[in-house]
Amino acid sequence: MTETAPTTPAGPGSGSEAPQTRSVQTHCPYCALQCAMTLTVTSWPDAADDYAVAGAEFPTNRGRLCRKGATAAELLTRDDRLTAPLLRGADGELRETDWDAALDHVAARIAALQAEHGRDAVGVFGSGGLTNEKAYALGKFARTVVGTAQIDYNGRFCMSSASKASTLAFGLDRGMPFPLTDLDDAATILLLGSNVADTMPPFVQHLQGAREKGGLIVVDPRRSTTAALTEGEAGFHVAPSPGGDLVLLLAVAQVILEEGFAAEDYLAERVDGLAAFRRSAMRWWPEQAQTATGVGADLIRQLARRLGHAAARARAGGDPVFILTGRGVEQHRDGTDTARAAISLALLLGLPGTAAGGYGTLTGQGNGQGGREMGQKNDQLPGARSILDPADRAHMAEIWGVDEAAIPGVGRPAAQLLHTMDTGDGVRGLLVHGSNVALSAPDADRVVENLRALDLLVVADFFLSETAAEADVVLPVLQWAEEEGTMTSLEGRVLRRRRAVDPPAGPRSELEIWADLARRLASVLDFPIEPAAVFAEIGRATRGATADYSGLDYAALDDGQAAYWPLPAGAEEADEEHTTTDEPIAGTARMFRERFAHPDGRARLTDIRAGRGIAPAGRQLVFTTGRLMEHYQSGAQTRRVQELHAAHPEPTLQLHPAVAAQFGLAEGEPATVTSDQGEMTGLVVLDDGLRTDTVFAPFHFPGAGTANRITRGLTDPQSKMPEFKNTPVSIRPAETLETPAAETTEELPR
């Protein structure tokens, strides 16, 4: 059990008037580290309940929480919580209405739009923050009830390049194919494009072993909080220009191959395509690469030799070596190839699937891993099945009870879906669940214009986000502590999200909403509204797939119980090689120990082309985005937490002092950055640890401070990931900056 028995703490009153306290163990509502936490509820006889959170012991966070997790309980008591459906009237105002009126309106508009324009006139946009059960049900609802191919989700902006690269190289996409605790004993960790010290602070304790051995290597164009961990003798920081990571990795691989560090026996036994990849690497010797990357040839060789020697020792039984990537190297038009280059480097060194180390990519959103496996991607069915594979389609048709031919094909990926809404063949209605695309999508001004041009925009959320404010219908839904369900962490570990508090009157679970809409749209299919029943259906749907959940037991996913997919039904439920903790293990904690997931069991190296159209480093000012410690994603939640808002209340522009001097900018004064898409304004923050060709801004803020107003709609041709990290810009002083206040919602007309 995760819930403790009620107790009576000391406090005001006595006897029956004394408060009752109970505690529930659950997991944080924010990132994919999914830190364990205890939520304590104190119920007073004549006052509202009090909520408090504390870190709970778990292998990933070991009792620690970041500032976001530690203040998460404040979200449960906000007075701007949406508690009734909102419907936009003829006068353009959103007004509260009842559920029947709201859902009747949504169903009628969906039916009318599809009758006039076809099934694909209505699109669905999901989220990596939805539970597994809701992500699964959303995909099922879109494809069987709405019957549309036009479904994708905000994970397209987060994990799609790494996902594609892992599938191409390994035959399977699991962000970290080993437990996070394996990093504790590492001799060397190469961390590319991820600022974990700010984005998931409890992660940092797993880097400590490498730091003590001088083996933490951070690749980032700015001296981030994580890069600063390398100072002294803890390791070193490599600062390529934005967009230079692919060439850097190929140049490192060139040195590995040229100087004899490659794991020849491992490559011969487990990997195909070495000759093709060798041709790729040999195009980029360090002296040539330094022009494209801004990293000196000597430092490239130092990096390669450090990895080469450490991996050789690891293969001989020494401490392991790991290569980890994040969004900084993936959110580019060549993001898939960059992730493939990182995987290729790990394969050259003989790491994946061995005790010598491995490769992993750090999932960002809370259920970014599970969310992409459950069928809300435009080209995937549950279990990471392909929507183009006849056998996969037939399996899902049987599970859902529909004709295989009725399951739609591949729809538009997220950026294209949002950017084509103003065209003749774009969607005319859009249902948005758990995503704030008005801030999070590239070329955000264009997206907002397109949202306003829709015939129907429905948004399900628990606060009036910037996207919800544009909607025709807003549906209030449950928050993290008010619902049951499962999440899949960055390790591929399936966890229980526990209901700890009663929601206010009014909000509903999306599972109930989709079931009600299905009935209104004359569907006879079964849409369970209990998460345990949906999880059981997930097991049947994923049975035999690469992401196989069929052997997982919903009831057993409780305190401290680890469960990693894949776990086929009837499979052995113990991973005897998990030695870093005493926790019980079910499923596959470490992937690829005997074979990779391609049919022949071998990993794939391929030719990777780089350098087409790459400008020499430092020739232009480049804009790149990222996250702050205090805020999460679009900030729709964290901007409502007073402590977090006070710590970083306004948008900022981080740049080198030399750049500020060149353009007449001063610390703390407003500046405007302009691209071909638009402009944003923020307060100048000077940082001599940032490259002089780079401007950095967090993407959490609305209005004039929306960073994605200036990012381009360019996407990676393989993953369709937008290029958030590399936008050519100019910069100038601004007269004013309208500082956003702490988030509030004015009382809505009734």
Which residues make Cβ contacts (< 8 Å) with residue 405, sequence separation at least 6?
Answer: none
619 contact partners, CB below 8 Å, separation of at least 6 = 693
Report the candidate in 148, 159, 72 with the shortest Cα–Cα distance to residue 462: 72
| C-alpha–C-alpha distance, residues 235 and 217, integer Å | 6
Task: Return left, alpha or beta for 235; rule: phi > 0 is left, psi -120 to 50 is alpha, else beta.
Answer: left
CB contact at 8 A, 578 and 588:
no
Among 459, 430, 485, 505, residue whose Cα is nearest residue 81: 505
**Contacts (Cβ under 8 Å, ≥6 apart) of 92:** none
Q: The domain 15-77 is classified under which CATH number: 3.20.20.20, 2.60.40.10, 3.30.2320.50, 2.20.25.90?
A: 2.20.25.90
Rounded-to-integer distance, Cα 66 and Cα 190, Å: 23
Long-range contacts from 296-301, C-beta under 8 angstroms, 24+ separation? 299/238, 300/248, 300/251, 300/252, 300/255, 301/255
Cβ neighbourhood burial of 598 (10 Å; 0-12, 13-18, 19+): middle
Question: What is the Cα Rg of the chain in Å?
Answer: 25
Q: What does the pLDDT read at residue 728?
A: 94
What is the spatial distance between Cα 69 and Cα 3, in angstroms, rounded to a whole number? 19
CATH of domain 160-362: 3.40.228.10
**What is the domain partition of the chain in residue ranges?**
15-77, 86-145+367-587, 160-362, 622-733
Q: What is the pLDDT of residue 580?
A: 35
Single pTM value for the model: 0.93
Please say whether the beta carbons of 367 and 486 come within 8 A: no
Question: How open is the CA angle 290-293-297, to the nearest 5 degrees?
Answer: 25
User: What's the CATH fold of domain 622-733?
Assistant: Barwin-like endoglucanases (2.40.40)
* Distance (Å, whole) CA 444 – CA 437: 8
Question: How many Å apart are CA 154 and CA 371, to the nearest integer?
Answer: 10
657 CB-contact burial (10 Å; exposed 0-12 / middle 13-18 / buried 19+): middle
Token pair of 544 as six digits: 């035999």
Which distant-in-sequence residues (6+ apart) come within 8 Å of 482 by Cβ?
A: 76, 499, 500, 501, 502, 503, 507
On whether the CB atoms of residues 435 and 467 are closer than 8 A, the answer is: yes
- pLDDT digit string, tens, across residues 293-350: 999 999 999 999 999 999 999 999 999 999 999 988 999 999 999 999 999 999 999 9
d(CA 174, CA 172): 6
Greatest alpha-carbon span in the chain = 79
Q: Which helix (H) or strand (E) holds 538?
A: helix 531-542
Q: Could you tell me the fold of the domain covering 86-145+367-587?
A: Rossmann fold (3.40.50)
**Under-70 pLDDT residues of the chain:** 1-16, 559-562, 571-585, 611-619, 738-750
Percentages (nearest 5) of helix, strand, coil residues in the chain: 35, 20, 45
Backbone angles phi, psi at 199, to 5 degrees: -80, -30
DSSP string, 168-200: HHHSS--S-SS-GGGGGG-SEEEEES--HHHHS
Beta bridge pairs of residue 460: 433, 475
Say what the pLDDT of residue 582 is.
Answer: 46
Which three-class secondary structure state does DSSP give residue 304? helix
